[in-house]
Amino acid sequence: MTVGERGRLAERPRRSRFLLIVGLFAVAGLQPAAAEEPKAGVVIDVNAGKRTLYPIAVPTSLEGDSGVAKEISTVASFDLNVAGVFKVLEPRSFLADLRAEGIGIDPQKWKDVGAFGVIKYRATATDIEFRLYEVSKGANASLTKTYSRKQSTRQIVHLWCNEVVKFYTGEPGFFGSKIAFTVKGKGSNAVYAMDFDGANAFKISNNSSTNILPAYSPSGGQIAYTSFMRNNPDLYVGPAGGGRPKKLSSQRGMNTGAAWSPDGSKIALTLSKDGNAEIYVISASDGSVIKRITNDKSIDTSPAWSPDGSQLAFVSDRNGGPQIFVVSSAGGTPRQISFNGSYNTTPAWSPRPGKQVIAYTTRDGGRYDIVTLDLQTKAMTRITQNEGNNEEPSFSPNGRAIAFARTGQGVFIANADGTGKAIKVWGGSATGVDWGPAPKD
């Protein structure tokens, strides 16, 4: 492949990973699920279908450093807003005397503005104390936590908000996790990573070549991506914090679309070493081929593992236009699962235990949108509509949110149940979005 050919490939408008793989290949040669029982002590039953958002107040503390207080309130409000279960109340509606209350609450004042929950905090030079109040239970805090300020204020707030989500729902939050994506530049693409809320973006790939399709390892410690730095679309794996990557797979032709197995020991990807684009599974330690999964004259690409590692979703044009198929990770006969229209690509499997939900990109009315499909109930949920072209969905670690790229606009986050409005977390020309695992406590 010449430098000119790589440049033209990088500049081509990117509507889906399938189109990218087609270009690379040309150049490089049931029963409805039963309702889940809510866990004991859970305040918000997130499995109850349609529900009213829980109104919660996050007033800015009037004690101590006003800059730190403002940051805490801003970060906490953002986190809880994107959790999908809360409605963060507008500060201008508050009736309480915040200075008189300090880190406590006057329950009646918060009842009068419709708050069910109130978060208070106090920051000192050495630590930050948080308190969560359930207004109906009076002036005693339901949850209290103090964090040493050895970490950044933003990191501490993410940890606290994860505790709040777990307290209310019984499930872990995703705050503090990271998102990797490809930034499209002139003549080359670079892999970046950032905090899930768009903060602290930094470059992962340190070369002037084209780098695409990042994928976090299950531990979050490594990122795999395809790079043309040696004039072939080879697969590299490097530290998630940046640094020198190692070449893992350099078969002739394509080595693209890496997806780590849930246990981190294997990687599924597209190889064209035998003349056609097929799905293979390789060792994550040395890149050796473990198994060929597909064997068809069509183009097969974009593999995604099910949470239990038993199945792989992928894209194939074997029945005409590109559609989503599912096959056993041990191999076998694939079955088509997408039937809405003639163009469906980039599957991502929800990590929620006991669920079989796949998000993917669909072309609808000339635009590209994100939808989810429940393989058990066959129910389809639209995540985006009438808001530009959207592609490359990736689930949050708890499966409650979906990150995706909007062409020419940036990276967005939306609720995985299709409610609410998508929130932009990074602005620019992005694609190839991958949401990393939950942060370690």
**CATH classification for the domain delimited by 3-33+173-435, as one of 2.120.10.30, 3.40.50.300, 2.40.10.10, 3.30.460.10:** 2.120.10.30
Query: Is the CB of residue 342 less than 8 Å from the CB of residue 336?
Result: no
- Joined together, the tokens standing for residue 87 give 């409605």
State the DSSP code for 68. H
pLDDT at 91 over 50: yes
Token pair, residue 111, equals 């009842």
Every domain range in the chain assigned CATH 2.120.10.30 = 3-33+173-435
Where along the chain do the CATH 3.40.50.10070 domains lie?
Answer: 54-169
126 CB-side CA count, 13 A: 0
21: pLDDT confidence band, cut at 50, 70 and 90? Answer: low
- Confidence (pLDDT) at 7: 41
Please calculate the CA angle 303-410-437 and round it to the nearest 5 degrees.
Answer: 50
CA 400 vs CA 32, 226, 333: distances in Å: 20, 28, 31
Q: pLDDT value at position 363?
A: 94
> What does the pLDDT average to over 224-243?
96
pLDDT in tens, 25-61: 444 443 333 333 334 456 777 776 667 899 999 999 9
Give the pLDDT confidence score for residue 30 in this predicted structure: 31
- The CATH-assigned architecture of domain 54-169 is 3-Layer(aba) Sandwich (3.40)
256: which residues sit within 8 A by CB, 6+ positions away? 20, 21, 24, 212, 213, 226, 233, 235, 269, 270, 301
Task: Name the least confident of 48-62, 119-133, 152-166, 175-189.
Answer: 48-62
Element (H, E) at 295: none
Q: How many Å apart are CA 255 and CA 252, to the nearest integer?
A: 8
Identify the pLDDT of residue 45.
75
Which amino acid belongs to residue 155? Q
Q: What is the pLDDT of residue 17?
A: 58
pLDDT of residue 323: 97
158-170 per-position pLDDT tens digit: 999 999 999 999 9
- Of residues 303 and 25, more confidence is placed in 303
> Which residues, in sequence order, are CB contacts of 395 under 8 Å at separation 6+?
348, 349, 350, 351, 359, 401, 402, 403, 416, 435
Report whether pLDDT(321) > 80: yes
d(CA 414, CA 425): 10
φ, ψ of residue 409 in degrees (nearest 5): -115, -35
For residue 81, name the pLDDT band (cuts at 50, 70, 90).
Answer: very high
**pLDDT at residue 380 greater than cutoff 50:** yes
Rounded alpha-carbon distances, angstroms, from residue 54 to 66, 81, 116, 422: 27, 10, 7, 19
37 burial level (CB within 10 Å; 0-12, 13-18, 19+):
exposed
Report the chain's terminal Cα–Cα distance, integer Å.
45
Q: Helix (H, G, I), strand (E, B), or coil: what is residue 374?
A: strand
Structural tokens at position 155 = 């990191």
